[in-house]
Homo-oligomer: A and B are copies of this chain.
């Protein structure tokens, strides 16, 4: 199967000894990541929409399996803290999360998913059809290889300035 990957690499035309530009691989890989990232994101948003949620609401919901302060949610979502108020308001109005006052610091409010909230986020995760179809196109060994490569991409990609 590893041999298959070698063959695939050759077929992709990326390792041709006549290729003069070594950065061409990185350049094409970047374009591919943009394209797949967009498609994957649209799959996520569309699946969340089937449950009446926006993509940001789904992301927040996925991060409150344990209690998280509003401020922490803002950091995790990469948005200003003032936005979290409204997002949590709408999720709370639908009974998917609750706000709990922190006993040790009464300024803090912790957000945590209800049982229905947990069930919803699990369903969304299971119903991302395009992503599941894409992953099913790979063999188990190929998925392992892909996982290892992506795991190495993680540190550089997640280090925020």
Could you tell me if A146 and B146 are in contact, using CB atoms closer than 8 angstroms?
A: yes
- Cβ of A94 within 8 Å of any chain B Cβ, yes or no, is no
> Across the two chains, which residue of chain B brings its CB closest to A6?
B2
For chain A, give the interface size range: 35 or more
Q: Given the interface contacts A30-B131, A156-B133, does A12 sit within 8 Å of B151 by beta carbon?
A: yes
Q: Which of B22, B26, B39, B157 contacts A158 (CB 8 A)?
A: B39
Q: Most chain-B CB neighbours within 10 Å: which of A5, A134, A140, A160?
A: A134
Q: What string of 1s and 0s marks CB contacts (under 8 Å) between A118-159 and chain B?
A: 000000010010111111111011111111111111111111
- Cβ of A87 within 8 Å of any chain B Cβ, yes or no, is no
- Cβ of A33 within 8 Å of any chain B Cβ, yes or no, is yes
Nearest-neighbour CB distance to chain B for A51, whole angstroms, equals 16
Chain A stretch 1-23: residues in CB contact (< 8 A) with chain B = 2, 5-6, 8-9, 11-12, 14-15, 22
B-chain residues with CB within 8 Å of residue A85 when the two chains form the complex: none
Interface positions of A (Cβ within 8 A of B): 2, 5-6, 8-9, 11-12, 14-15, 22, 25-26, 28-30, 32-44, 59, 78, 125, 128, 130-138, 140-160
Could you jot down 12 A-B contacts, CB within 8 Å? Answer: A2-B2, A5-B145, A5-B149, A9-B145, A12-B151, A30-B125, A36-B153, A39-B157, A130-B158, A137-B155, A145-B145, A146-B146
